[in-house]
Structure 1
Amino acid sequence: MHDHDHHTHGTSAIDANENATHDHVFLGAQHDRNARRTWAVIAITATMMVVEIAAGTFYGSMALLADGWHMSTHAAALLITALSYRYAKRHARNSRFTFGTGKLGDLAGFGSAVVLGVVALLIGWESLVRLANPVGIDFGQATVVAVIGLVVNLGCAALLSEGHGHHHGHAHDHHHGTDNNLRAAYLHVLADALTSVLAIAALLAGRAYGWLWLDPLIGIVGALVIARWSWGLLTDAGAVLVDYLPEDEDLPAQIREAIEGEGERVTDLHVWQLGPGHHGAIIAVRAKAPRQLSEYRERLAHLGELSHVTIEIEPV
């Protein structure tokens, strides 16, 4: 005996007989808002990029030019986030995506994490080269550019931080609601802000004491921190892509607790993430006296993150 049903947050399970066809839209609750904010950040970044490149060319400033071109790679990385939001929304009801497009954000987040890792490697390499061969720095000009970059990036981070599943929050909330696509954009902006803060510190100390070696040394520290963020995002987004549930994920235990009763046992259980805040489950139940399918669905109704459930009942 098989049953298949789909229900959304805050509603009880829908009877399969009453709703023979249903959509598979498993996008995050804040999908549209996050997409709008990402485009706003891209607009701000692109504007800064054009201003810095133009000013750098006009004033012959290498610091402005370098930061301007760095901003262009930053904007390109953010485009991955924005375009994946658009694609996921456009194809949300495309039946060729068996379980919807909710995981596209994790795929984009994984790609952005790779870009972030490459950025960390480039910063680290450039810092090592400068450590071996010190380059003269125009401290005043470079400090102004770093301060401008910091202000812009902090503003962008504020736009992207709200609703971004904080990595150090409660494990249950983190794994169930995190939008890895938005988290990727947030980390790109945060990485830029971090490099600006470290650059300002290094430039001020370098200007005061003439320590040319401090700038590349702090660059290496920044590269290591960004690499750590990249690795965290890679592992979290990658886990979703290969249907791996974190060890502290308690949804399988909650399902067993809700279903199992006197003479009933869950013999096979598969739980995976369909999108931010959405999980799917395939449950095989062995029962001495099988109950109505609607009763089993009712037992699971309080698990709001269960958005797609298939139940198989095997009488003993």
Structure 2
Amino acid sequence: MSHSHHHHHHDMKGKNMLIAVILNVVITVSQVIGGLISGSLSLLSDALHNFSDVLSLLISFFANRLVKRKASSRRTFGYKRAEIIAAFVNASTLLIVAAYLIYEAIVRFIYPQPIESGLVIWLAAIAIIANGISVLLLKSGSDHNMNIRSAYLHLMSDMLASVAVLVGGLLMRYFGWFWVDSVLTVCIAVYLIVVGYDLLKDSFKVLMLFTPEDVDLNHIRQELTILEEVDNVHHVHVWQLNEQEVHLEAHIEFNKDISLSQFDLIMVEIERVLDEKFGINHVNIQPEYQRDDPKDIIVQD
């Protein structure tokens, strides 16, 4: 039952992303045409930002599809890492877009240009509505999925950029303050750098097989050596495969020469402790008895 619910949730995420892609393609094309007609650099830079959204959504959409593919003898983990890679790529593009927006804003600040503000205002308003719909479509999935969160952040930042373009358009129209657009663009770019860096860092840690932040290896050792038959826990590796799966592999030194059936019973208890106290749901243990090997918790392979 839970499997079919999970499958349905994946399908909903995929459909929502596809709708968001279509909306953003429409916005991008409109803004490119509008930017060329009005001579507005802000619209063209927003169109570039939107185009990066389209790419990030497509990456997220295909990663979401890949995750559902079954494991095989050549790909024993299937494509479970696809969404983490997508998040890493999307976070990287957020930082690149932010740097480009800052550059554009500085150039525009030095060389302000008169702009056809009416067209800018209308297209910015349309972009806010379309991006707002896209943001709402992806909001629910963004809390529990790094890939969806990366696409969601792209869209949220683009909605804010469109708000800045709208405000800039209104101020240009009624006050002739062309410099406002540059200031707002820099503010949005700084926001992009902050959220993009956090996401880049989180996805990088998963890809590098770093131990999750909330897992303490010494605490794991303490909890497992409480078990009567366990003498020592060493050569430990803990990593995230994706956001749902945390894996542990370790060597466990037993104080008796136990049978396989006894080991199976102890394993049930080890798996329970690791799951309940540390959120580790995939466990691979190498049992040992009086084996002469390093007993350090971390052993360089």
Q: What TM-score do you get using the length of structure 2 for normalisation?
A: 0.80
The structure-2 alpha-carbon separation of the partners of 1:106 and 1:252, relative to structure 1 and needing over 3 Å to count, comes to farther
Residues 43 and 194 (structure 1), Cα distance of their counterparts in 2 relative to 1, 3 Å cut: same
Count of matched residue pairs:
277
CA distance change for structure 1 residues 36 and 94 in 2, over 3 Å: closer, same or farther?
Answer: farther
Contact 1:84 1:104 in 2 (8 A): yes
Where do residues 112-151 of structure 1 align in structure 2 (5 Å cutoff)? 112-151=90-129
**Is 1:311 matched up with 2:289?**
no
1:60 aligns with 2:37: yes
What is the CA-CA distance between 1:252 and the residue it aligns to? Answer: 7.5
Q: Which residue of 2 aligns with 1:292?
A: 263
2:272 to 277, 301, 308: 301
Structure number with the bigger relative contact order (C-alpha 8 A, sep ≥ 6) is 1
Q: Aligned equivalents of 2:19 and 2:56: distance in 1?
A: 14
CA shift digits 1:18-61 (9 cap, x unpaired): xxxxxxxxx9995443222211211222233345556x39x934
Match of 1:268 among 227, 232, 235: 235
Conservation of the 8 A alpha-carbon contact between 2:171 and 2:178: no
How much does 1:313 deviate? 1.5
Q: Deviations 1:217-269 (Å, cap 9, x if unpaired)?
A: 11111111111221111111111000012433358845752564235231232
Contact 2:71/2:77 (<8 A) preserved: no
Deviation at 1:193, TM superposition (A): 0.9
* Stretch of structure 1 that moved more, 218-227 or 248-257: 248-257
One-letter code of the match for 1:78? Answer: L
Query: What RMSD in Å do the two structures reach over aligned CA positions?
Result: 3.0
Larger relative helix fraction: 2
CA contact (8 A) 1:28 1:179 kept: no
Shift, 1:68, TM fit = 4.8
Counterpart Cα distance in 1 of 2:164 and 2:233:
54
1:228 maps to 2:206: no
Alignment deviations for residues 72-115 of structure 1 (CA, whole Å, 9 cap, x no partner): 3321221111112223323x312322433211111111111111
Question: How do residues 27-38 of structure 1 correspond to structure 2 at under 5 angstroms?
Answer: 30-38=9-17
Alignment match, 2:74: 96
Query: SS of 1:301's equivalent?
Result: helix
SS of 1:221 mapped into structure 2: helix
Match of 1:107 in 2: 85
Structure 1: gaps spanning 5 or more residues: 1-8, 11-26, 166-177
Of the three residues 169, 194, 211, the one matched with 1:245 is 211
Contact 1:103 1:240 in 2 (8 A): no
On the 8 A contact 1:260/1:266 being kept in 2, the answer is no
Residues 106-115 or 45-54, more deviating: 45-54
What one-letter code is carried by the residue in structure 1 that aligns with 2:269?
E
1:279 aligns with 2:246: yes
Aligned position for 2:297: none
For 2:79, give the aligned amino acid: T
Q: Does the Cα contact within 8 Å between 2:209 and 2:240 map onto a contact in 1?
A: yes
| Match status 1:76 vs 2:50 | no
Equivalent residue for 1:200, pick from 166, 182, 201: 166
Question: Cα offset for 1:62?
Answer: 4.3
Q: Name structure 2 gaps, 5 residues minimum.
A: 291-301
Quote the Cα distance in structure 2 between the aligned partners of 1:251 and 1:260.
15
Q: 1:98 to 1:204 in 2, by over 3 A?
A: same
1:85 pairs, out of 45, 48, 64, with 64
Task: Supply the distance in 1 between the matched residues of 2:37 and 2:121 (Cα, whole angstroms).
Answer: 16
Aligned partners of 2:111, 2:237: CA distance in 1, in Å? Answer: 56
* Aligned partner letter, 2:240: Q
- Give, as a single letter, the amino acid of the residue that structure 2 aligns with 1:60: I
Instruction: Give runs of aligned pairs for residues 165-184 of structure 1, distance below 5 A.
Output: 165=143, 178-184=144-150
Query: Which secondary structure does the structure 2 equivalent of 1:135 belong to?
Result: coil
Task: Give the match for residue 299 of structure 2.
Answer: none
| Residue pairs, 1:202-217, within 5 angstroms | 202-217=168-183
Per the alignment, residue 219 of structure 1 pairs with 185
CA deviation digits over 1:259-306, x for unaligned, max 9?
642352312321111122111110211121344223223342361753
Query: Could you say what secondary structure the match of 1:275 adopts?
Result: coil
Q: Which residue of 2 aligns with 1:185?
A: 151
